[in-house]
Structure 1
Amino acid sequence: MAEGITTMNQTQATCDLPPRDRATSFDVTSITLCAITGVMVFARLIFKVFYSYTGKLGRDDCFIIISICVGLPCTIINSVGLTRHGLGKDVWTLTPDAIETFGRYFYAQQILYLFLVTTIKLSLLFFYLSIFPGTGVRAVLWLTMAVTGLFGLTFMLLSVFQCMPVAFYWMRYVQPIEGHCTRINLLGWIHGGVSTAIDVWMIGIPLFQIRKLELHWKKKVGATIMFLTGSFVTVVSALRLRSLIYFANSINPTWDELPLALWSTIEINVGLMCACLPTLRLILVRIWPRVFGSTLRSASERSAVSHATNASARKAKLRMTSVDTEESPITPRLQEADTAYELEAKYPTWEDRDDTDNAENVPIEDACHAR
């Protein structure tokens, strides 16, 4: 590959070809997406800690924190490591040191990308685990998490040792050295295809649960739309597959691999955004209840919720060790919200709902947004 780059450099000098540069547009896209994602994740965490009923972070939030802590350095690497050392430019216009440094950073970004794809999927699966109480679906979710974790770990290890010695990955662009690489392009296609298939499977899990619920069709449509917002990241993953054509298969990597870096950046940020959408809905309902709280419960649903809430309150009173006339401590929490989606203040826990006859009438759409 080093000889091919030298030949192209001589051709460019002889033919006086104009230089190409798309680095700035990539930087703008990467930084903008990172800023939007950071704001959404920050808002999600603040809401969960200070304004949610539980007042604490869940396991899905922990994986989101891990993802954003790794994602922010990735954005820095995009600008400081990749574009500064040639991404978006023709490789024959660069110095050997710049090409080698580009190869090092691109190698690191591959591993970080695989890690982030895995943690974002695990965050969504833990979110599903927190809203679906059924034994069968929980077993499916745990199995999916195990497969996702093993799949991600396997490809991270394959990516680390894709070339032997490891330094051959970035040195092959600069000078001929002894070494070899696996079929990196094929590994990229396999990972992209399987990852997209897992995304489709993850979308199907909640949709299958909604189909079995005895809810009004409008409620089912609303819940379906909420879960289908996650399909956008699946679309991005599928579009990213096209960018793998030149992955590790080009004598002009700094130019040809720009689409791969761009779509990978978009996929990670969109995945984090989709994971924050349910909480963002709650925030918007709190700020503009008349605009975003339009999905109201019917009279029968209000009756069911009232019945479940009263049962929960009676249960709390039975736990009291002394009789007094003070108001139950859970009452303010049950009365503090008027909107349909603020269920952490309105609905009892899963355990309390098991004690009521109308537990199945609590809309799954609302329960999803309460988490």
Structure 2
Amino acid sequence: MKPSSMFAGLAATMMATQAVAATSVAEALALAKKLYPECALVCLQQLVPTSGCSLTDTACLCTNEELNAGLSVCVLQGCSIEDAFKTKNGSATMCGAPVRDESLKPPLVAAVGFSLALIAYVIRLCSALPGCGRELSWDDWTITACVLLTVPPTVFAFTLSANGLGKDIWTLPLANVENVLFYYFLGELFYFCAQAMNKVSILLFLTRIFPHHNLNRAIWATIVVTLAYAVSFFFATLFQCWPINHAWLQLEEHHQGQCNNIHLQGWLSAIFNIALDIVILALPLHQLSKLQMPLNKKLMVMVVFSVGIFVTIASIIRLHTLVRFANSTNITYDYMDAAYWSTIELYAGIITASLPAVYKYLCSVAARSPGWSKVKSKLSGSSSSGTGVSAGEHVTGSSAVAHRLGPKRSEAEFVLLTDVESGKGQAWK
């Protein structure tokens, strides 16, 4: 929200019942003294007489943009932050501004998103249980680190909501605003760490699925770039203000410090992040397009991997929210979208990284279920008729041997993606 609109209606005290009876400027000012701090009254007395508005003309006082721009500058320069908040809160009330409260949105997103991500992660671990044909590897350990690093931002969503994220800043005590800035700052640090572990997990998974030398070289180069990106922006965020605590204490009148261009830093981070998402998405899809397999199977596998597009979309939306609040002074309300889209991006990343293992596990469970046996027998029956040997045809001699020893079709018709990490040639189906 622009400063020019932050104190709209500063002099609109006349909307109060008592003010309706006021018949003179003196009476109106006497009422204003009861409702506003002294610093705001000084601004009122200086600017209203030259505005063309009467102190009893509420509509003019609330809608005169030039007057309110001057009042906002005057109040921000002459009042403490707490007095400025009191002034704006009173003005908003007197001008009939709606009370905005979207503080339930961040914890709701966190609860639903983290639950879905945790379910995907648990199923991923189940796919490595004995008998499921897969062993734990480095990509599992890095996604575990990602899940653990996502816990604090999830908890912070509830803490931020309790302190007023999603409400207008002038309706909150200064202590609550500082708490919002503090937990938002911590959430950013955990965001970079969790995001890096998520990307590295996906890339390590790709090194096992595609052991080709040239592609592996590109994957490892991307891992190095990802880690460099995460480390760089982690420390850039940690030291975005000096002293560090100025990041959340900057609204205190006597606290000294300075900050970098935080918004530019956020935009650069988001742009690099989107570029990395696109590279990680392109690596497997480019390789899959070259595989020799039926088109329907190729499309099926590409769909599994291309779910990562949603992560990229979440990153783009997050960038849009960062641009939108670039010049905001109403930080507790305008920062909300960026906060919960950051967590959505992390949750979507965990689900995307776990999806191939979830797919394998569900296929494994389905193959062992009684209902699947019927489907399997039907597939076997149709495949026998397709070989040129009918169900009732008697096959003898070398023809029978050739029929028994011929290549057997996979019951589930799943695509085999070789897992080379364990060295046992296990396959991802």
Using the alignment, how far apart are the partners of 2:203 and 2:141 within structure 1?
A: 12
Is 1:96 paired with 2:169? no
What is the aligned partner in structure 2 of residue 313 from structure 1?
A: none
Return the structure number with greater relative CO, CA threshold 8 A, min gap 6: 1
> Aligned partner of 1:10: which letter?
T
**Structure 2 residue identity aligned to 1:194:** F
Q: Which residue of 2 aligns with 1:20?
A: 100
Residue 285, structure 1, aligned to residue 358, structure 2: no
Superposition pairs of residues 131-170 of structure 1, within 5 angstroms: 131-170=209-248
Residue matched to 1:7: 84
Distance 1:100 1:116 in 2: 24
Question: Which amino acid letter does the alignment assign opposite residue 105 of structure 1?
Answer: Y
Query: CA–CA distance in 2 between the matches of 1:106 and 1:203?
Result: 29
Aligned twin of 1:117 = 195
Q: What is the match of residue 270 of structure 1? A: 348
With normalisation by structure 1, the TM-score equals 0.77
Q: How does 1:192-203 map to 2 (within 5 A)?
A: 192-203=270-281
Kindly indicate whether residue 207 of structure 2 is the aligned counterpart of residue 129 of structure 1. Answer: yes
Alpha-carbon spacing, 1:169–1:342, altered in 2? closer, same or farther (3 Å)? same
> Are 2:417 and 1:339 aligned?
no
Q: Is the 8 A contact 1:5 1:252 kept in 2?
A: no
Q: Which amino acid aligns with 2:123?
A: A
Out of 111, 132, 137, the position equivalent to 1:58 is 137
Deviations 1:184-206, CA, capped at 9 Å, x for gaps = 10011111111101111111111
Aligned counterparts of 2:203 and 2:196: Cα–Cα separation in 1: 11
**Partner residue of 1:49?**
129
1:200–1:234 CA contact under 8 A, matched in 2: yes
How much is the aligned-residue C-alpha RMSD, in angstroms? 3.0
Equivalence for 2:9: none
Mapping of residues 24-39 of structure 1, within 5 Å: 24-39=104-119
Aligned to 1:76: 155
Contact 1:4/1:251 (8 A) holds in 2: no
Aligned pairs (5 A) from 1:191-230: 191-230=269-308
Structure 1 residues 211 and 78, CA, compared in 2 at 3 Å: closer, same or farther?
same
Letter in 2 for 1:139: R
Distance 2:153 2:356 in 1: 25
Q: Give percent identity, aligned residues only.
A: 27
Partner of 2:28: none
Shift of 1:128: 0.3
Deviations 1:188-247 (A, max 9, x none): 111111110111111111122123323332332222222211111111111111110255
Q: Which stretch shows the higher mean deviation, 235-244 or 172-181?
A: 172-181
Q: What is residue 260 of structure 1 aligned with on the other side?
A: 338
Instruction: Give yes or no for the alignment of 1:234 onto 2:288.
Output: no
Task: For residues 270-325 of structure 1, give each alpha carbon's deviation from its aligned partner in whole angstroms, at most 9, with x where no partner exists.
Answer: 1111111112212322344478x99x8997xxx9xxxxxxxxxxxxxxxxxxxxxx
Return the index of the structure with the highest Cα Rg.
2
Q: Is the contact between residue 188 and residue 237 of structure 2 (CA under 8 Å) also seen in structure 1?
A: yes
Q: Structure 2 unaligned runs (5+)?
A: 1-75, 388-407
In structure 2, the residue matched to 1:251 is: 329
Give aligned pairs, total.
316
Which shows bigger deviation, 132-141 or 246-255? 246-255
Query: Normalising by structure 2, what TM-score?
Result: 0.67
| Cα distance per residue 1:24-75 (max 9 Å; x no partner) | 1221121111111111111211221334324x31111001110111112221
For 1:286-365, what aligned pairs fall within 5 Å after superposition?
A: 286-289=364-367, 338-341=411-414
State the 1:4 CA deviation: 6.0
Picking from 184, 187, 204, the partner of 2:262 is: 184
Secondary structure of 2:128's aligned partner: helix
Q: Is the 8 A contact 1:34 1:75 kept in 2?
A: yes
Aligned residue number for residue 186 of structure 2:
108
Q: Aligned partners of 1:263, 1:6: CA distance in 2, in Å?
A: 32
CA distance in 2, matches of 1:282, 1:258: 37
AA of the residue aligned to 1:64: I
2-structure distance, mates of 1:7, 1:215: 67
- Structure 1 letter corresponding to 2:90: A
Say whether the 8 Å CA contact 2:241–2:247 is kept in structure 1: yes
CA 1:171/1:109 → structure 2, altered by over 3 Å: closer, same or farther?
same
C-alpha contact 1:117 1:268 (8 A) present in aligned 2: yes
Q: Is the 8 A contact 2:85 2:171 kept in 1?
A: no
